[in-house]
Structure 1
Amino acid sequence: MITPELVDLSRLQFAVTALYHYLFVPLTLGLSMLLVAMEGCYVITKREIYRDMTRFWGKLFAINFAMGVATGITMEFQFGTNWAYYSHYVGDIFGPPLAFEALMAFFLESTFAGLFFFGWKKLRPGVHWLCTFLMAFGTNISALWILVANSWMQHPVGSEFNPVTLRMEMSNFWEVISSEWAQATLVHDISGGYMTGAVFVAAISAWYLLKKRDVEFAKRSLAVACAFGLVTSIVTVHMGDESGYLVTRDQPEKIAAMEAIWDTAEAPAGLTLFALPDTERRSNALQVEFPWVLGLIGTRSLSTPVPGINQLEERNAARIASGAKAVTLLEQLRKDPSNATLLESFNVVKKDLGYGLLLRKYTSDVSTATPEMIRKAAADTIPPVSLVFWSFRGMVTCGVIMLLLFVLGFYYSVKGCPETKGLYLKLAALALPLPWIANELGWIVTEVGRQPWTIYGVLPVHISVSSLTAGEVLGSLAGFALLYSALLIVEVWLMKRFASLGPSTLGTGRYFHEKH
């Protein structure tokens, strides 16, 4: 029996594994491309310091890559174990991107990772750089297919519901992989990963400079990281703007929660800098806005209002009532599949089927749903306002700080004097956690903001889970928590150990610990 406890525990388990896995993904993306840049400098200049930079940061990449692979495997198994109905309902669309990720990306990055680590003495510099590039390319292709699948969950296109099989079926594969959501999400998330790698290298390099060790190595690493980070920060901001437009257009409930818009904001809507949302009174205290900004970002106009939560609930209540008819007609069609009149009536309200399924949380017979049940289901279509509101602002704040660090670091590197800027170096070293905080908060906005849907507008979360007991899910959750905690301790210990030793781990005789 599907209980609220089972749904909550299944969601919690997937959230824990997904957020933990995403501790490793952005650093893998960022470091892989930084290695391409560093080794490219070596191939062009023939200077050994760039070769040493590539090899040293490659060691830290290897640790992170291994942990990312280990934690990513369990996530895919959960689709079958904890989310069986979801897998049955949308497997035709969700399965192919995951299969392509394994066939096209995982084997590519794994193969060329081996050549990267073991081919230094066997391959010519240009050929080795090509292997490094293909390793990074495989990593990015892996992200592509995962994000295509996730983007389809956010905005399901290229598919339609089949009343005979009772499943979503793909109608246009190209539309799935080329949707605006897939493009914007891919570039935004990958550039966020690049920022993570840049901050990681910059923070550790700043620490070396504070300790006045391996100064030339650290200065060049800092310069490459800040230049790379500055470019990718600008891309991240631009694609964040594009994502804001798509969310406002296709997921109005999410943008309303992100901005705590209780009543429709007249055009042009302002962007909330700060507020204290009160979910009981449905109002904000101490609200400070940037005039017109949300209208420009979210609607690309000065004349289009942004719907508020109260109005969205009213609109969704009407869709739920229509969806209840769709569910009832579908049940009748199952008994009489050749009835053309029923099919015609169903097709009229089919677009609201998912909204009707929201009522299954309150009654097994949707046709008997009361106005109170419809009201509760409509309230469910609004994601948790405070969590989404503050997560979004935390993400943006971290992003702005990182952008400023890249600007200053690039400027000081061009001037050739970063080692003299003690305050900047301290701030850069302390900034190490920021990209992870930003990435995790970004995913909270993305996934919590989609609630109550597994597939937005199509499949509610509460009917997506497997027929398990709450105890079974709790037991596996506890096991994952213990295992992942152990892996995290190992990861942090290895990273700290190799970062503390620095490039002396290369055994070239040129670095700090080898001379002291």
Structure 2
Amino acid sequence: MLEHLDVVTLSRLQFALTALYHFLFVPLTLGLSLLIAIMESVYVMTGREVWRDAVKFWGTLFGINFVMGVATGVTMEFQFGTNWAYYSHYVGDIFGAPLAIEGLMAFFLEATFVGLFFFGWNRLTKVQHLIVTWCVALGSNFSALWILIANAWMSNPVGAKFNPQTMRMELSSFTEVMFNPVAQSKFVHTVSAGYVTGAVFMMSIGAYYILRQRHVQIARRSLTVAASFGLASALSVVVLGDESGYTAGESQKMKIAAIEAMWETEPAPASFTLFGLPDLKSETTKYEVTIPYVLGLIATRSFDKPVEGIKPLVLRNEARIRNGLPAYHWLTEQGGRPNARLPDELEGSMRDAGYALLLKRIRPDIENATPQEIHEAALSTIPDVPVLFWSFRIMVALGFYFIALFAVAFYLSSRRRCGRPWFLRLCMLSLPLPWIAAELGWIVAEYGRQPWIIDGVMPTFLGVSSVPAANVAASLLAFVVFYTALAVVDVGLLIKYVRKGPQGPHEPELEAGALPEAQPAYDASR
């Protein structure tokens, strides 16, 4: 099967595989690190050893997840040099800066304090160890910040300009890159999703212990903390997701149109399609169920602005392809020379040169492209509509489910009724759902940017390395084998330590056969 795929498809498949696998560990790292810091803060304030035992237990699971995240994350960065060499050459000055800062400022900070967290219990005071734990959480979030700044630049390439002498994109304003509005909304939305993942993970394992009548005191406290923290996080995900929709509506209009399966422009106030069946042949969405005004509020923050559809955007992109051809023609003749200077009259054309490059997939001499070929290139700017349509709706549905789950958990915990068997089983069944939502979120983000590796600047197919497809296929198979082995080890270790449970002197467990509700109520802050 793989031998029939070209180097572009294989390179994309390999990066997608490694990215999605790596992101199995990132959200749990974000969520658990902050939850552990909160629980250790309670331990320092109250002096109750049960909180220390809880921190050590959850810290062990965090450590397993952290190591796996490092192992899978390093391989991703190497791919920029192996599979995406021209992309790295073309935008390395901009894309490399936040990645370097992430390594120097965030990853080393996190890695250093992780060691102190595990080996400093008997060498540091309570307050010193608490500071270390908060530094671990801070490092995790800083790491996510710089990675997402780099990723957001690919969707909204600000703070950079093209140099016709070097034929590369170069950094013009690091401040603009850092404070990219897409980066800001993507960061807060992503870390909030990570907090939800950590909270569901903690609630699910706590529910498992209560059902099994083991480590009940730690389990109840963990479930209570996770419920309150998770509710705030789940509400934040929905609110901040709305902000992500607005920034996408400003900078990635085609993505919004594809997510909505909206072929024609939706007049103001635009309605949101709650359900429908996209039909690519007829270019319509059948059996639509819509909610008035919602799309207009999300994408434009107004009631009087229309939301453009796929067909009008294709026509606009067709015009941009034509407009970019003069700049491309000038670059083929003058670009790369030490004294090359783009004429002022071609500045507007240069902004659309990336669109002209879409023709490279159709023919090498793009200056001679026919109107039909230009239209075909414009059609390639449409992402996969059904994939985006359903991925987005499943993700949003899960987001509202988490709000309901945490609201119930918070209510039951506040009334000392979190031992209800039906609720505990629901928590356990919900364990995989945050990861499904997170992976769908990345599919929406990255699939929605296609066919661009840098939106409006470089098509994805131009960013790959000049390597044989067989080499990429071989490395892809190697990654599948290696990551499968890592998955087996990771799941095995997590199951082992969950079964083992927290260590140390605990308060009495429930006696065999006793219901959790029969236990005396307790104050979770003790």
TM-score range, shorter chain: over 0.9
Task: From the superposition, tell whether residues 60 and 89 of structure 1 become closer, same or farther in structure 2 (CA, over 3 Å).
Answer: same
Question: Matched residues in 1 for 2:468 and 2:482: separation?
Answer: 22
Task: From the superposition, tell whether residues 164 and 205 of structure 1 become closer, same or farther in structure 2 (CA, over 3 Å).
Answer: same
What does residue 70 of structure 2 align with?
69
What does residue 424 of structure 1 align with?
423
Question: Matched residues in 2 for 1:42 and 1:491: separation?
Answer: 29
User: Does the aligned pair in 1 maintain the 2:164–2:340 contact within 8 Å?
Assistant: no
User: Does the aligned pair in 2 maintain the 1:383–1:448 contact within 8 Å?
Assistant: yes
Q: In the alignment, does 2:14 pair up with 1:13?
A: yes
Specify the SS of the correspondent of 1:418. Answer: coil
What does residue 483 of structure 1 align with?
482
Q: In the alignment, does 2:428 pair up with 1:414?
A: no
Specify the SS of the correspondent of 1:195. Answer: helix
Q: 1:401, CA displacement in angstroms?
A: 1.2
Task: From the superposition, tell whether residues 52 and 93 of structure 1 become closer, same or farther in structure 2 (CA, over 3 Å).
Answer: same
Aligned-residue RMSD, C-alpha: 1.8
User: Does the aligned pair in 1 maintain the 2:453–2:460 contact within 8 Å?
Assistant: yes
Q: 1:334, CA displacement in angstroms?
A: 2.7
Task: Give the alignment of 1:54-203 within 5 angstroms.
Answer: 54-203=55-204
What does residue 377 of structure 2 align with?
377
What does residue 260 of structure 1 align with?
261
Per-residue CA deviation, residues 214-238 of structure 1 (Å, 9 max, x unaligned), is 2221111000001111111121111
User: Does the aligned pair in 1 maintain the 2:164–2:336 contact within 8 Å?
Assistant: no
User: Does the aligned pair in 1 maintain the 2:98–2:149 contact within 8 Å?
Assistant: yes
Task: Give the alignment of 1:267-286 within 5 angstroms.
Answer: 267-286=268-287
Question: Matched residues in 2 for 1:4 and 1:308: separation?
Answer: 32
Question: Matched residues in 2 for 1:339 and 1:225: separation?
Answer: 59
Q: 1:280, CA displacement in angstroms?
A: 1.4
Question: Matched residues in 1 for 2:411 and 2:327: separation?
Answer: 61
User: Does the aligned pair in 2 maintain the 1:252–1:307 contact within 8 Å?
Assistant: yes
The sequence identity of aligned pairs, in percent, is 53
User: Does the aligned pair in 1 maintain the 2:50–2:506 contact within 8 Å?
Assistant: no
User: Does the aligned pair in 1 maintain the 2:5–2:469 contact within 8 Å?
Assistant: no
Task: From the superposition, tell whether residues 471 and 330 of structure 1 become closer, same or farther in structure 2 (CA, over 3 Å).
Answer: same
Q: 1:508, CA displacement in angstroms?
A: 3.2
Q: 1:35, CA displacement in angstroms?
A: 0.6
Per-residue CA deviation, residues 65-101 of structure 1 (Å, 9 max, x unaligned), is 0000000000000000000000000000001111101
| Amino acid aligned to 1:439 | A
Specify the SS of the correspondent of 1:284. Answer: strand
**Higher helix proportion (structure 1 or 2):** 1
Question: Matched residues in 2 for 1:101 and 1:512: separation?
Answer: 44
What does residue 354 of structure 1 align with?
354
Runs of 4 or more, structure 1, over 2 Å off, are: 334-340, 342-346, 507-515
User: Does the aligned pair in 1 maintain the 2:61–2:494 contact within 8 Å?
Assistant: yes
Question: Matched residues in 2 for 1:334 and 1:123: separation?
Answer: 60
| Amino acid aligned to 1:15 | A
Question: Matched residues in 2 for 1:6 and 1:233: separation?
Answer: 40
TM-score norm. by structure 2 comes to 0.94
Specify the SS of the correspondent of 1:367. Answer: helix
Question: Matched residues in 2 for 1:453 and 1:40: separation?
Answer: 45
Task: From the superposition, tell whether residues 323 and 397 of structure 1 become closer, same or farther in structure 2 (CA, over 3 Å).
Answer: same
| Amino acid aligned to 2:405 | L
Q: 1:121, CA displacement in angstroms?
A: 1.2
What does residue 52 of structure 2 align with?
51
Per-residue CA deviation, residues 475-502 of structure 1 (Å, 9 max, x unaligned), is 0000000000000011011111111222
Question: Matched residues in 1 for 2:509 and 2:76: separation?
Answer: 41
Per-residue CA deviation, residues 260-298 of structure 1 (Å, 9 max, x unaligned), is 111000101111110000111100111101111110111
Task: From the superposition, tell whether residues 509 and 292 of structure 1 become closer, same or farther in structure 2 (CA, over 3 Å).
Answer: closer
Q: 1:4, CA displacement in angstroms?
A: 7.0
Q: For structure 1, which runs of at least 5 residues remain unmatched after alignment? A: none
User: Does the aligned pair in 2 maintain the 1:329–1:345 contact within 8 Å?
Assistant: no
Task: From the superposition, tell whether residues 433 and 300 of structure 1 become closer, same or farther in structure 2 (CA, over 3 Å).
Answer: same
Task: From the superposition, tell whether residues 511 and 178 of structure 1 become closer, same or farther in structure 2 (CA, over 3 Å).
Answer: farther
What does residue 312 of structure 1 align with?
313
TM-score norm. by structure 1 comes to 0.96
Per-residue CA deviation, residues 357-411 of structure 1 (Å, 9 max, x unaligned), is 1111111111011111111111111110000111101111111111111111011
Q: For structure 2, which runs of at least 5 residues remain unmatched after alignment? A: 513-526
| Amino acid aligned to 2:223 | L
- Name which of structure 1's ranges 220-229 and 210-219 shifts more when overlaid on structure 2: 210-219
User: Does the aligned pair in 2 maintain the 1:17–1:75 contact within 8 Å?
Assistant: yes
What does residue 453 of structure 2 align with?
454
Question: Matched residues in 2 for 1:335 and 1:203: separation?
Answer: 58
